[in-house]
A = this chain, B = another copy of it.
Amino acid sequence: VAKDKDALAQLGEFGFISRVTRRLSSGEDVVLGPGDDAAVVAAPDRRVVACTDVLVDGRHFRRDWSSATDVGHRAAAANLADIAAMGARPTALLVGLSMPDDLPVSWAEELADGLNDEAELAGASVVGGDTVASPVLIIAVTALGDLQGRAPVTRSGAKAGDLLAVAGRLGWAAAGITVLSRGFRSPGALVTAHRRPQVPYAAGPVAAVLGATSMIDVSDGLLADLGHIAEASQVAIDVSTTALRIPVSMRDAGQALGVDPAHWVLSGGDDHALAATFPPDVLLGPDWTVVGRVGSGCGVTVDGQIFEAEAGWDHFKSKRAA
């Protein structure tokens, strides 16, 4: 039987699971990997960080825009970034896969490859999961992480006077979605950024060591996510656009498509950059770029002004393109 034509319906649940788990590699935090009722993962400092993120076919990804491997990378990255945003080191992923009976097994295998490879990039392993038949393809990923003895960096510790800094890319994935939604396939750098975010995983623990007072994964857009920090910390945050780098390919794409690239940078999610606040005397390393300041008050401003645009995605209010 040719791999590509195996339907899940033929392989059965257990045949499918054995086929997929064969492709996974186990890192040193895996005490007991896939194949039993549950996995066992190291939690060296007697605490475990845990989060869950769900991706729905046609809403968070499109199979005509992204390969199965790309989707695996993105699904893993969305979760691993949340772990990093607590200042923790990712250790493990569990995957709840709901999929149509007629999905080619090769698609699921390539999804597993993407999940596995992105987990490896972050130092983590896929340790378990569940597979069910469903009318819609939905990928629910849970990530676990290790705080390495440090306190978690929450959203609520920012203080007036702190610096705001960002690690990773802003607006690239959003620009890539705009490019794809207008029917183009280039610039390749932007399209690839949507397909496989480059998450600065190591910058999360680094920020914690540097004394970050708050941190968040930028998944809904910088302004929207800073809004969560501002609200949780009861502070005001101002972003300086002069500090935000807009790469040439994004500027060109903006001109070609009639979009102000600042909108992508300020409101686009899915690059999974990290945003954090630091005491003003911090010496930031190369991962982190200062892009604003924390003040007293409330809300988020850009160059001292309210930014007039949709600030980010709310999954129920605005159906996104992808």
Chain A residues packing against B (C-beta within 8 Å): 8-9, 11-14, 16, 31-32, 35-56, 59-60, 82-83, 85-86, 88, 92, 94-98, 101, 127-136, 138, 140, 142-145, 147, 152, 154-156, 215-217, 232, 314-317, 319
Q: Out of B40, B51, B92, B136, which one reaches A38, CB within 8 Å?
A: B51
A317 to B131, CA, bound (A): 13
Minimal beta-carbon separation of A57 from chain B (angstroms)? 9
Residue contact B94 to A142, C-beta cutoff 8 Å = yes
The 7 closest A-B pairs by CB, nearest first: A140-B140, A43-B43, A96-B140, A38-B51, A142-B142, A37-B85, A54-B96
**Pairs A–B under 8 Å by Cβ, sample size 12:** A32-B152, A38-B51, A39-B50, A40-B47, A45-B46, A50-B92, A59-B134, A96-B96, A96-B142, A134-B138, A138-B138, A138-B140
| Residues of the B chain whose Cβ atoms lie less than 8 Å from the Cβ of A52 | 94-96, 128-130, 140, 142
Residue contact A60 to B127, C-beta cutoff 8 Å = no
Given A32-B152, A134-B136, A138-B134, check contact A314 B39 (CB 8 Å).
Answer: no
| Residues of the B chain whose Cβ atoms lie less than 8 Å from the Cβ of A152 | 31-32, 36, 38, 40
Given contacts A13-B314, A56-B132, list 19 more A-B pairs with CB under 8 A: A9-B316, A35-B232, A37-B51, A37-B155, A37-B217, A40-B152, A44-B46, A45-B46, A48-B144, A50-B144, A52-B128, A53-B96, A54-B132, A96-B96, A98-B136, A98-B138, A131-B315, A133-B319, A136-B138
Residue contact A37 to B317, C-beta cutoff 8 Å = no
For A42, the closest partner residue in chain B by CB is: B47
Minimal beta-carbon separation of A161 from chain B (angstroms)? 22
Given A14-B314, A52-B94, A128-B52, check contact A42 B46 (CB 8 Å).
Answer: yes
Residue contact B38 to A145, C-beta cutoff 8 Å = yes
Given A39-B49, A54-B96, A85-B38, check contact A316 B8 (CB 8 Å).
Answer: yes
Given A50-B144, A51-B39, check contact A154 B96 (CB 8 Å).
Answer: no
Given A31-B47, A46-B46, check contact A130 B54 (CB 8 Å).
Answer: yes
Residue contact A314 to B12, C-beta cutoff 8 Å = yes
Residue contact A13 to B138, C-beta cutoff 8 Å = no
A140 to B95, CA, bound (A): 9
Given A8-B316, A36-B86, A316-B16, check contact A53 B154 (CB 8 Å).
Answer: no
For A78, the closest partner residue in chain B by CB is: B130
Minimal beta-carbon separation of A40 from chain B (angstroms)? 5
A48 to B92, CA, bound (A): 11
| Residues of the B chain whose Cβ atoms lie less than 8 Å from the Cβ of A37 | 51, 82-83, 85-86, 155, 215-217
Minimal beta-carbon separation of A12 from chain B (angstroms)? 5
For A317, the closest partner residue in chain B by CB is: B12
